[in-house]
Chain A
Amino acid sequence: MIRYLQARVLALLLILVLMSVVVFSFLHLTPGDPVEAMLGSEVDQETKDGLRHALGLDQPLPVQYGLWMSRALRGDLGSSIQMHQRVSALLAEKLPVTIELTAAASVVGLLIALPAGVLAAVRRNSAVDLGAMGIALAGVSIPSFWLGVMLILLFALHWRIFPSIGYVPIFRDPIGALRHLVLPAVTLGLGLAGTLTRMVRSGVLEELGHEYVRTAKAKGLRFPTVINRHVLRNALLPTLTVLGVQVSVLLGGAVITEQIFAWPGVGQLAVQAVQSRDYPVLQGSILIIAVLATVVQLVVDLAYAFMDPRIRLS
Chain B
Amino acid sequence: MTRAYRHFLRNRLGIAGATLAALLLIVALGAPWLAREDPLDMHMAETLRPPSAQHWFGTDQFGRDVWARVVYGARLSFTVGLVSMLLATTLGMPLGAAAGYLGGTVDAVAMRVMDAILAFPAILLAIGLVAALGPGRGSGIIAIGIVYIPVLARVTRGAVLARRAEEYVDAARAVGVTDWGILRRHVLPNSIAPILVQATVGFASAVVIEAGLSFLGAGTPPPTPSWGSMLNEARQFMVVAPHVAVFPGAAISLAVLGFNLLGDGLRDVLDPRLKA
Contact = CB atoms under 8 A, between A and B. Distances in A.
Contacts of B129: 26, 29
B216 to A, nearest CB: 5
Interface string B168-192: 0000000000000000000000000
Contacts of A26: 128-129, 131-132
B238 A15 contact: no
A contact face: mostly helix, strand, loop, or mixed: helix
A152 B131 CA distance: 29
A251 B260 CA distance: 22
A158 B122 CA distance: 33
Contacts of B232: 145
A294 B204 CA distance: 24
Given A143-B256, A153-B238, A289 B124 contact: yes
B226 to A, nearest CB: 12
B115 A157 contact: no
Nearest to B245: A149
Contacts of A19: 116, 119-120
Contact of A282 (B131, B211, B235, B252): B131
A288 B261 CA distance: 34
B228 interface: yes
Nearest to B207: A143
Contacts of B276: 198, 202
B121 A251 contact: yes
Nearest to A30: B132
Contacts of A110: none
Contacts of A212: none
Interface in B100-152: 112-113, 115-117, 119-125, 127-134
A276 B129 CA distance: 15
A22 B116 contact: yes
Contacts of B239: 153, 157
A114 interface: no
A23 B132 CA distance: 10
Interface of B: 112-113, 115-117, 119-125, 127-134, 204, 208, 211-212, 215-218, 228, 231-232, 234-235, 238-239, 242, 245-246, 248-250, 252-253, 256-257, 260-261, 276
Interface of A: 14-15, 18-19, 21-23, 26-31, 137-138, 140-143, 145-146, 149-150, 152-153, 157, 198, 202, 248-249, 251-253, 255-256, 259-260, 270-271, 273-275, 277, 279, 282-283, 286, 289-290, 293-294, 297
Given A249-B121, A252-B123, 8 more contacts: A15-B112, A22-B117, A29-B129, A142-B253, A146-B231, A149-B238, A248-B119, A293-B120
